[in-house]
Amino acid sequence: MKKFYEQLTDKEQWKGLLMGNHAVARAMLEAGVKVITSYPGSPTPEIAEALNSVPQDMRDYHFEWATNEKVATEVAFGSSINGNMSVVFFKSVGLNVAADSLVQLGLMNLTGGLVVILGDDPGANSSQNEQDNRHFARMSYIPVMEPATPTEAYKMFLEAAKLSKKHQMPIILRLTTHVCHAKELISFGAIGESNGYKAEFDVNNGPYLPITKTVFPLKKKAMEKLDLIRKESERSPFNNIYSPFGCKEINGKKLGIISSSMPALSVMENLDKAGKPVDLLQINFSYPMPEEMIAGYLKDKDEVIIIEELDRIMEYEIKALAFDRDIKCRILTRKTHDDIMGELTSDRTWDIMTGHWPEVFESGIKPVTQPFANPRIPQMCPGCGHRSAFHAIKQALPDGTITVGDIGCHSLGFFEPYNMGEMLLSMGHSNGTAAGLTIGNEKRKVLAFIGDSTFFHAGLPAIINAVLYDHDFTLVVMENGTTAMTGHQPHAGTGEIGEKISIDKVLESFGVKFIRRIDTYQQKKLTEYIKESLDHKGFSVVIASHPCMLKFMKQQRRKEGFVQKHVEIDQSKCERHLTCIEDFGCPSFVKNEDGSITVNEDLCIGDGSCRPTCPVSAIDFKKEAK
Amino acid sequence: MKDLNIYMCGVGGQGIGLLAEVMLRACHKAGYDVKGVDTHGLAQRGGTVVSHLRIGKKIHTPLIPSGKANIVIALERLEGARAASEMLDEGGKVIYYDAEYQTIGNRLGKFKYPTHEELEATVKAKNGESVRVFEEELSDPRMQNIVLIKKMIELEWIPGVDTAIVSEALAELMQGKMLEKNLELLKA
Interface test with A, best of B45, B54, B75, B140 (most A CBs within 10 A): B45
CA distance A373 to chain B (A): 8
Judge: A374–B114 Cβ closer than 8 Å, yes or no. yes
What is the Cα–Cα distance from A459 to A429, expressed in whole angstroms?
A: 7
Calpha distance A447→A542 (Å, rounded) = 10
A16 CA: distance to closest CA in chain B (Å): 10
Q: Find chain B residues with C-beta within 8 A of A377's C-beta.
A: 47, 103-105
Cross-chain Cβ contact A345/B61 below 8 Å: yes
Reduced to 3 states (helix: H, G, I; strand: E, B; else coil), residue A19 is strand
**A395, A529 in Cβ contact below 8 A?**
no
Minimal CA separation from B60 to chain A, in Å: 5
B25 contacts A374? CB cut-off 8 A: no
Report the pLDDT averaged over residues B80-108.
96
> What are φ and ψ of residue A369, in 5° steps?
-105, 155
Question: Are B45 and A265 within 8 A, CB to CB?
Answer: no
List every span in chain A annotated with CATH 3.40.50.920. 239-356
Residue A364 pLDDT greater than 70, yes or no: no
CB A234 within 8 A of CB A292: yes
Q: Whole-angstrom Cα distance, residue A256 to residue A279?
A: 5
B138, closest residue in chain A (CA to CA): A602
Three-state SS for A606? coil
Residues in chain B: 188
- Is the pLDDT at A365 greater than 80? The verdict is no
Contact predicate A119/A89, CB 8 Å: yes
CB of A520 closer than 8 Å to CB of A386: yes
A131 phi and psi, to 5 degrees? -60, 145
- What is the C-alpha separation between A466 and A447, in angstroms, rounded? 13
Nearest chain A Cα distance for residue B155, angstroms: 25
The tens digit of pLDDT for each residue in B13-25 reads 899 999 999 999 9
Pick the range with the lowest mean pLDDT from A9-13, A157-161, A317-321, B63-67. Answer: B63-67
pLDDT tens by residue, B55-80: 999 999 999 999 999 999 999 999 99
pLDDT at B43 over 60: no
In whole angstroms, give the CA distance from residue A261 to residue B154. Answer: 39
- Contact flag B108-A581 (C-beta cutoff 8 Å): yes
B-chain residue closest to A580, CA distance: B107
pLDDT computed for residue B42 by the predictor? 61
* Facing residue for B66 by CB, picked from A369, A375, A409: A369
* B35 → closest Cβ in A182, A345, A379: A182
How many CB pairs lie under 8 A apart between chains A and B?
Answer: 171
Answer whether CATH 3.40.50.300 is correct for domain A385-553. Answer: no
What is the pLDDT at residue B188?
87
**Residue contact B37–A183, C-beta within 8 A:** yes
Ramachandran assignment for A248, one of left (phi > 0), alpha (psi -120 to 50 degrees), beta (any other)? beta
Beta-carbon contacts of residue B165 (< 8 Å; ≥ 6 apart)? B26, B29, B30
Largest CA distance in chain A: 84
| Residue range A581-598: mean pLDDT, rounded | 96
Question: Inter-chain contact A181–B109, Cβ cutoff 8 Å?
Answer: no
> Which positions in chain B touch A368 (Cβ < 8 Å)?
67, 88-90, 126
Q: Which of B88, B104, B178 to mutate to test the interface with A (most CBs of A within 10 A)?
A: B104
Compute the distance between CA of residue A206 and CA of residue A226 in angstroms, rounded to an integer.
18
Number of C-beta neighbours around residue A486 at 10 A: 22
C-alpha B78/C-alpha B64 separation (Å) is 20
Query: Residue A193 and residue A509: Cα distance in Å, rounded?
Result: 49
Report pLDDT for A53. 97
Please report how the helices B16-29 and B163-173 are oriented relative to each other, as an axis angle in degrees rounded to 10.
120
Burial call A229-264: b when 16+ CB within 10 Å, e when fewer = bbebbbebebbeebebeebeebeeebbbbbbbbbbb
Among B93, B103, B81, B79, residue whose Cα is nearest residue B16? B79
Q: Name the residue facing A412 among B45, B100, B114 (closest C-beta).
A: B45
Domains of chain B: 4-187 (3.40.920.10)
- By the 8 A CB rule, do B161 and B151 touch? no
Q: Which chain A residues are Cβ-neighbours of B61 within 8 angstroms?
A: 262, 265-266, 268-269, 345-346
Residue A368: pLDDT above 70? no
H or E element that contains A49: helix A45-53
Per-residue pLDDT tens for A89-142?
Answer: 999 999 999 999 999 999 999 999 999 999 999 999 889 999 999 999 999 999
Going by their DSSP bridges, the two strands A170-176 and A239-242 should be labelled as unpaired
Contact by Cβ (8 Å): A615, A583: no
- B102 to A590: CB separation less than 8 angstroms, yes or no: yes
User: Cα-Cα-Cα-Cα dihedral of A16, A17, A20, A22, to 10°?
Assistant: -60
Q: CB B34 to CB A376 under 8 A?
A: no
Q: Are B81 and B88 in contact (CB under 8 A)?
A: no
Q: B61, B87, B100: best mutation site toward chain A, by most A Cβ within 10 Å?
A: B61
Nearest chain A CA: its distance from B62 CA (Å): 7
Averaged pLDDT score across all residues of chain A: 96
Write out chain A residues lying below 8 Å of B66, CB-based.
345, 347, 367, 369
Exposure of A463 by Cβ count < 10 A (0-12 exposed, 13-18 middle, 19+ buried)?
A: buried
Cβ neighbours of residue A243 closer than 8 Å, sequence gap 6 or more = A279, A280
CATH number for the segment(s) A4-233: 3.40.50.970
Q: Which residues pair with A620 in a beta bridge?
A: A568
Looking at the predicted structure, is the pLDDT value of residue A625 above 60? no
The whole-number pLDDT of residue A212 equals: 86
What pLDDT is stored for residue A626 in this prediction? Answer: 43
In SS3 terms, A487-521 reads as CCECCCCCCCCCCCCCHHHHHHHHCCCEEEEEECC
- The class (CATH top level) of A239-356 is alpha beta
Average pLDDT over residues A61-80: 98
Shortest CA gap B10–chain A (Å): 11
Chain B residues close to A415, C-beta within 8 Å: 104
Confidence of residue B140 (pLDDT cuts 50, 70, 90): confident
Is B101's CB within 8 Å of A587's CB?
yes
What are the residue ranges of CATH 3.40.50.970 in chain A? 4-233, 385-553
Nearest CA distance, A507 vs chain B (angstrom): 30
Q: Which of A109, A111, A122, A170 is nearest to A142 (CA)?
A: A170
Quick: pLDDT tens for A265-314. 999 999 999 999 999 999 999 999 999 999 999 999 999 999 999 999 99
Residue A340 confidence (pLDDT) above 50: yes
The domain A563-621 is placed in CATH, from the list 3.30.70.20, 1.10.10.60, 3.40.50.800, 3.40.50.1970, at: 3.30.70.20
Question: What's the CA gap between A544 and A542, in Å, rounded?
Answer: 6
Measuring CA to CA, how many Å separate A421 from each of A185, A390, A405, A541?
Answer: 43, 10, 4, 16
**Integer Cα distance of A258 and A272 in angstroms:** 16
Residues A170, A118 contacting (CB under 8 angstroms):
no
Backbone angles phi, psi at A15, to 5 degrees: -120, 140
Q: What is the pLDDT of residues A573-588, one digit of tens each?
A: 999 999 999 999 999 9
Give phi and psi for A368, each to the nearest 5.
-85, 60
